[in-house]
């Protein structure tokens, strides 16, 4: 998933703020007990998410894809006073573990964790969001973008993870998930309502700013 040289990745991590004790615990627990631990954001990406959240100081964040809650906790670090993060995930088997992490963080009251299909849950949300993080099934990235766009304030930001898809976006014969990611990247690039930059961090993050309705 990392698209830069492992040595440069390590150097970057060594020169970035370290994980706090809880994030280290979530990281270890995920790798020890949860399937597909590479899905976890990890230190470098987590610090990027935290930094962006601190820069925006969002009142409301939407996260699509909670996994074990690592990125949720990173994003929540930058919430404005009284702010909240709504995080959606379809995997009910992880719910107890994730809720323990949130409770231990002391931010439980600011985290609205919902289990279900995000395609069905998003239309029921009534909040206007300052920041959206998309990190779920790749096939639905374009659908998520369409569903959340009107719920994002003008000047708000979308972050989409895995947009380089382990470098597979360069494959001559891409597979289904890769084609979905490539279609999403084209969609964003050609949308006149946004400004965007693709950051080659870890597995690629698309940073998108909504500039018009």
Any idea how long the chain is?
213
Phi first, then psi: what are they for 2, rounded to 5°?
-75, 130
Tokens 């890769």, located at residue: 178
Instruction: Kindly list the structural domains of the chain, giving each domain's residue range(s) and its CATH number in brackets, ordered by start.
Output: 6-155 (3.40.50.150)
Q: Taking the CB of residue 58, how many other CB atoms lie within 10 A of it?
A: 25
Rounded mean pLDDT, 177-205: 97
pLDDT band at 5 (very low <50, low <70, confident <90, very high): confident
92-128: pLDDT as tens digits:
999 999 999 999 999 999 999 999 999 999 999 999 9
Confidence band (pLDDT; 50, 70, 90) for 13? very high
**84, 112 Cβ separation under 8 angstroms:** yes
pLDDT tens digit sequence for 135-189: 999 999 999 999 999 999 999 999 999 999 999 999 999 999 999 999 999 999 9
pLDDT 10s digits, 21-78: 999 999 999 999 999 998 999 999 999 999 999 999 999 999 999 999 999 999 999 9
Q: List CB contacts of 100: < 8 A, sequence separation 6 or more.
A: none
pLDDT at 207: 98
């Amino acid at each position: 998933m990392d698209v830069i040289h492992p040595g440069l990745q390590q150097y970057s991590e060594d020169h970035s703020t370290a994980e706090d004790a809880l994030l280290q615990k979530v990281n270890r627990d995920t790798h020890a007990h949860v399937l597909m631990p590479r899905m976890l954001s990890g230190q470098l990406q987590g610090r990027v998410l935290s930094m962006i959240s601190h820069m925006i100081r969002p009142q409301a964040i939407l996260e699509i894809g909670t996994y074990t809650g690592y990125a949720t906790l990173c994003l929540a670090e930058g919430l404005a006073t009284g702010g909240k993060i709504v995080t959606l995930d379809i995997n009910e088997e992880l719910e107890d573990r994730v809720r323990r992490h949130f409770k231990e963080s002391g931010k439980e009251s600011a985290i609205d964790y919902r289990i279900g299909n995000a395609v069905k849950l998003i239309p029921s949300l009534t909040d206007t969001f300052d920041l959206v993080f998309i990190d779920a099934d790749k096939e639905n990235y374009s659908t998520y973008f369409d569903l959340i766009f009107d719920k994002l304030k003008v000047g708000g930001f979308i972050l989409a993870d895995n947009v380089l898809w382990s470098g597979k976006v360069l494959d001559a014969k891409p597979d289904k998930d890769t084609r979905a990611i490539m279609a999403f990247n084209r969609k964003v690039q050609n949308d006149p309502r946004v400004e965007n930059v693709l950051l080659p961090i870890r597995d690629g993050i698309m940073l998108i700013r909504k500039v018009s309705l």
